[in-house]
Amino acid sequence: MRNIAVVAGTNVDTQMGVDYINEMSETDRRLYRPFAYPAFDTPMHCHTFQMQSNAGKLDYFEKLFKNAIKENNVEGFFVYCNSLSAAVDFEYLGKKLDVRVATPLMAYREIAQKTSKLAVIAANNQATAGIEAAFTEKNPECYVMGLGMLELVEAVEAKISPEEIIEKFNLVQLIDFFEKNGAEALVLGCTHFPYFEEELKKRCKLPIINPAEKMYYML
């Protein structure tokens, strides 16, 4: 049995990551035991943390990682948060502590060659920029259009229905704009957003990229 720490912004997306690993492990019979390690209490707390110095951010998560290793003998970290993975060098921490790490940005690098023009919706514009950097690092000719919007995350945390979120924030019109400007796929650049993924698929034509499966197999 391999112990995995799911690290994310709040209790909500951390639990979504735990549920995802449990579901995938049951499907392919991998022996993963996920433990929840939410980093913050609210989306805004997570957002403002990302504006701190790099040294401060690394120190914060190095302590969290070490605590997870000590408490639960964790062998791998499933960083289930796009904006945090854009703000913190988790790959460096993984090497320093000699543990396996999977993040959304690492997953995006793996799939970068498959598209030339992408649309992104993310929790904030730091995440949008990080996703763009990950794609263009491996595919310099990839164009990225994006929106960072913390209110979408807060709506998921408030358990507003997927249908209402899509209507309230005009997501169909937004994706129509992306499509008319040549986007080949839509990146769900926040791990809260699978909450409304199925409802979005019913209303939009663009293929949707969710990094979770690629991250799972990176573990």
7-60 tens-digit pLDDT: 999 999 999 999 999 999 887 777 889 999 999 999 999 999 999 999 999 999
pTM: 0.91
Task: At 105, list the tokens.
Answer: 């940005």
Residue 31, pLDDT score: 81
Residue 184 CB burial class (10 angstroms; 0-12, 13-18, ≥19): middle
Report, as an integer, the average pLDDT of 151-165: 97
Rounded CA separation 179/123 (Å): 20
Whether the pLDDT of residue 124 is over 90: the answer is: yes
- What the chain holds in terms of domains, given with CATH numbers, is 2-105 (3.40.50.1860), 107-211 (3.40.50.1860)
pLDDT in tens, 56-71: 999 999 999 999 999 9
Encode 56-85: b = buried (16+ Cβ within 10 Å), e = exposed: ebbeebeebbeebbeeeebbbbbbbbbbbb
Backbone dihedral angles phi then psi of residue 71, each to the nearest 5 degrees: -70, -40
